[in-house]
Amino acid sequence: MTVEPFKNEPILLFQDEAERKAMQAALAEVKAQLGRDYPLIIGGDKVVTGDWLPSHDPSDPARLVGRAAKAGPAEADAALEAAWKAFETWKRWPQEHRSRVLWKAAAIMRRRKFELAAWMVYEVGKNWVEAIADVAEAIDFLDYYGRIALNLKGPEAVPLHPYPGEDNEAFYIPLGAGVSISPWNFPIAIFTGMLAGPIAVGNTVVAKPAEDAVVVAYKVFEVLEEAGLPPGVANLLPGIGEEVGAHLVAHPDTRFITFTGSLEVGLIITETAAKRIPNQKWIKRVVTELGGKDAILVDETADLDLAAQHIVASAYGFSGQKCSAASRLIVVDKVHDLLMEKVTERSEKLVVGPAEENPDLGPVINAEQEAKVLKYIEIGKNEGQLVLGGEKLEGPGFFIAPTVFTGVDPHARIAQEEIFGPVLSTIRVKDFDEGLEVANATRYGLTGGVFSKSRERLERARYEFHVGNLYFNRKITGALVGVQPFGGFNLSGTDSKAGGPDYLHHFVQMKSVTERF
Ligand SMILES: NC(=O)c1ccc[n+]([C@@H]2O[C@H](COP(=O)([O-])OP(=O)(O)OC[C@H]3O[C@@H](n4cnc5c(N)ncnc54)[C@H](O)[C@@H]3O)[C@@H](O)[C@H]2O)c1
Ligand SMILES: N[C@@H](CCC=O)C(=O)O
């Protein structure tokens, strides 16, 4: 088998007329399909329950994107049973055959790239660039995990020291049937990656998508089905997190859980999964990728124009609804005022509006999130100076103006709690040393950035800025599969490093076999 080296799917910026036309056509095609119903998928069967989860467009909440059948405990039990049944055969597939299914799925996604992006524009309010980048990342996960799974194949993947008189070998085997619980903010990329990883190495999965992204999840399953993934290897189970999600986590038949979402839910899952239930034969493997309170530190040597451009991209891309988003800006006193002028000047030019019009910022995801962000803005008014935004904008959608606070204390709530919206809290520090201390003074540790021309400071930050993904002199969002393995320290999760060379190790166990001759 000839396997070409992995290459990232190109990111489109829609500067080209042909790309813009393709996206407009895809939006029109998808718009004509809004409002349909989608079943659960259990063991390859399409199942409806009589109960529905509606999904609305956050740019225009009156618009129904679609309804997904809502799963309950009975469907969760059936899905786990189907996953274990499929495991018996899927685990025996040669690795090359499993990888080919992933590559085929990548090829299908590539062909459906604009259409899949258009679904995200309507379902979660991504602008075109963010939406197409999300599909590109999903394609990368499929292509990349299919390739690195080959490195875990057979005893040759585990070099051992020879021992006289004995034949020793060790090899990786899959864990079994597990559960993948995903967030809405990267509804194709993260959803696909969390399925593709475990499946690549022979496990089977029950996927519980986020309530706000159920239609897009179904679209991913269409791709997997067309790619020839056998029934039951992946099962689709939309439902309420606290109900069906919690049921799956606590289930004795769940072998592993891969979760991406908030810190609060991640901790509940970790705790629940740690309790052994009667008849449970294993210690559940739990992988969590959680929130962040990510900081960019700018010192007096930095290129301030470059810094301002990347701060704005990091803080407001997808309206700040990324775990990697810059939500704290830490600036050395000497350049604070000048930098803030540049940041606010750029931020106030950003266009906020319906995602289908490809604005700089679309809406936040739902009414609850809008209320949460506005609540934090009110808190911020007592914790710092509001220098830009701070309000809900006109329109039916959940639109919030890019917001900047200055003069924020490092321990203030808006400097410590994840807001997940277009809100930037600026902290003034006397020098780089204090800045580094402030940067690390959070319970999270996901992404971080430094803008500086000092080699000595960058090298210090390389080891002392305690985050899983650190960036120098560029934005702190947009990690690329195979290039920047992604995952955080501290309460940002188990540092699983999605899109990294070790990721698949979370979903295998090693068996050692010795024969004495
Ligand atoms: N570290 C990362 O890689 C990463 C990536 C994306 C998002 N995130 C984080 O995700 C959060 C935003 O996503 P969200 O709002 O969908 O998060 P969330 O925690 O509210 O929900 C995530 C998923 O968990 C489910 N869920 C909720 N309660 C549950 C329970 N008790 N048991 C089992 N499942 C349950 C939800 O239905 C959803 O599918 C932010 O905190 C963001 O930082 C982290
Ligand atoms: N991996 C994405 C963030 C995912 C979390 O929301 C990035 O690097 O920006």
Res 182 pLDDT > 90:
yes
**DSSP one-letter code for 493:** B
Q: What is the mean pLDDT of the chain?
A: 98
Check: CB of residue 429 under 8 Å from CB of residue 450: no
Ligand nearest to the CA of 496: 1
What lies within 8 Å, CB to CB, of 127 at 6+ separation is 121, 318, 355, 358, 359, 360, 361, 362
Number of Cα atoms under 13 Å in the Cβ half of residue 343: 36
For residues 427-454, one letter each, b for 16 or more C-beta atoms within 10 angstroms of the residue's C-beta and e for the rest, the string is bbbeebebbbebbebbebbbbbbbbbee
**DSSP one-letter code for 31:** H
Res 1 pLDDT > 90:
no
Choose one of 186, 296, 476, 480 to mutate for the ligand 2 pocket test, by most ligand atoms within 8 angstroms of C-beta: 186
pLDDT at 403: 98
**CB neighbours of residue 10 within 10 Å:** 9
What lies within 8 Å, CB to CB, of 425 at 6+ separation is 327, 328, 329, 380, 384, 405, 408, 412, 414, 415
Check: CB of residue 328 under 8 Å from CB of residue 296: yes
Res 37 pLDDT > 90:
yes
Q: Which of ligand 1's atoms lies nearest the C-alpha of 498?
A: 3
Reported confidence tier of residue 4, pLDDT bands at 50, 70, 90? very high
CB of residue 471 inside a 6 A radius of ligand 2: no
Residue 392's identity, in one-letter code, is K
Helices (H), 2-112: 17-31, 73-90, 95-111
Q: Which of ligand 1's atoms lies nearest the C-alpha of 248?
A: 33
Ligand nearest to the CA of 419: 1
Choose one of 257, 323, 376 to mutate for the ligand 1 pocket test, by most ligand atoms within 8 angstroms of C-beta: 323
Q: How far is CA 59 from CA 64, 118, 409, in A?
A: 11, 13, 34
For atom 38 of ligand 1, the residue with the nearest CA is 210
Residue 338: its H or E element: helix 333-348
Res 279 pLDDT > 90:
no
What would the mean pLDDT of 58-78 be, rounded to a whole number? 98
d(CA 115, CA 16): 17
Residue 46: its H or E element: strand 45-47
Determine the distance separating the centroid of ligand 2 and the alpha carbon of 509, expressed in angstroms. Answer: 28
CB of residue 475 inside a 6 A radius of ligand 2: no
Choose one of 130, 265, 290 to mutate for the ligand 1 pocket test, by most ligand atoms within 8 angstroms of C-beta: 265
Q: Output the ligand 1 site: residues, CB below 6 A.
A: 181-186, 190, 208, 210-211, 241-242, 245-246, 249, 260-262, 265, 268-269, 289-292, 323, 418, 420, 446, 488, 492-493
Check: CB of residue 20 under 8 Å from CB of residue 118: no
d(CA 141, CA 399): 31
Ligand nearest to the CA of 470: 2
What lies within 8 Å, CB to CB, of 393 at 6+ separation is 352, 399, 400, 401
Determine the distance separating the centroid of ligand 1 and the alpha carbon of 261, expressed in angstroms. Answer: 2
Res 154 pLDDT > 90:
yes
Q: Which of 294, 332, 335, 340 is nearest to 315 (CA)?
A: 294
Q: CA 119: distance to chain centroid?
A: 17
pLDDT at 38: 98
Ligand nearest to the CA of 325: 2
pTM confidence score: 0.98
Q: What is the pLDDT of residues 341-355, one digit of tens each?
A: 999 999 999 999 999
Reported confidence tier of residue 72, pLDDT bands at 50, 70, 90? very high
pLDDT exceeding 70 applies to what percent of the chain?
A: 100
Determine the distance separating the centroid of ligand 2 and the alpha carbon of 439, expressed in angstroms. Answer: 19
**DSSP one-letter code for 422:** S
What lies within 8 Å, CB to CB, of 348 at 6+ separation is 388, 402
Check: CB of residue 210 under 8 Å from CB of residue 187: yes
Check: CB of residue 499 under 8 Å from CB of residue 485: yes
pLDDT exceeding 90 applies to what percent of the chain?
A: 99
What would the mean pLDDT of 178-184 be, rounded to a whole number? 98
β partners of residue 424: 404
**DSSP one-letter code for 44:** T
Q: Which of 385, 391, 392, 383 is nearest to 417 (CA)?
A: 383
Determine the distance separating the centroid of ligand 2 and the alpha carbon of 484, expressed in angstroms. Answer: 11
Q: Which of ligand 2's atoms lies nearest the C-alpha of 322?
A: 6
Choose one of 314, 322, 447 to mutate for the ligand 2 pocket test, by most ligand atoms within 8 angstroms of C-beta: 322
Q: What is the pLDDT of residues 424-452, one digit of tens each?
A: 999 999 999 999 999 999 999 999 999 99
Helices (H), 402-445: 413-416, 432-440
d(CA 224, CA 507): 20
**DSSP one-letter code for 54:** E
d(CA 51, CA 244): 13
Domains parsed from the chain with CATH numbers: 19-55+64-290+495-510 (3.40.605.10), 294-481 (3.40.309.10)
ipTM of the complex: 0.99
For atom 2 of ligand 1, the residue with the nearest CA is 289
Asked about 226 being catalytic, the answer comes back as no
Tracing tokens 């509804």 back to the chain, one arrives at: 187
Q: What is the pLDDT of residues 254-266, one digit of tens each?
A: 999 999 999 999 9
Of 123, 137, 300, 323, catalytic: 323
Phi, psi of 98 (to 5 degrees): -65, -45
pLDDT at 106: 98
pLDDT at 79: 98
d(CA 13, CA 34): 26
CB of residue 314 inside a 6 A radius of ligand 2: no
Asked about 356 being catalytic, the answer comes back as no
Determine the distance separating the centroid of ligand 2 and the alpha carbon of 195, expressed in angstroms. Answer: 17
Widest CA span of the chain, in angstroms? 79
Check: CB of residue 180 under 8 Å from CB of residue 190: no
Q: Which of ligand 1's atoms lies nearest the C-alpha of 186?
A: 6
β partners of residue 285: 256
d(CA 107, CA 511): 34
d(CA 66, CA 56): 7
Reported confidence tier of residue 251, pLDDT bands at 50, 70, 90? very high
β partners of residue 179: 206, 257
Helices (H), 349-424: 367-383, 413-416
Check: CB of residue 180 under 8 Å from CB of residue 208: yes
Q: Which of ligand 2's atoms lies nearest the C-alpha of 484?
A: 8
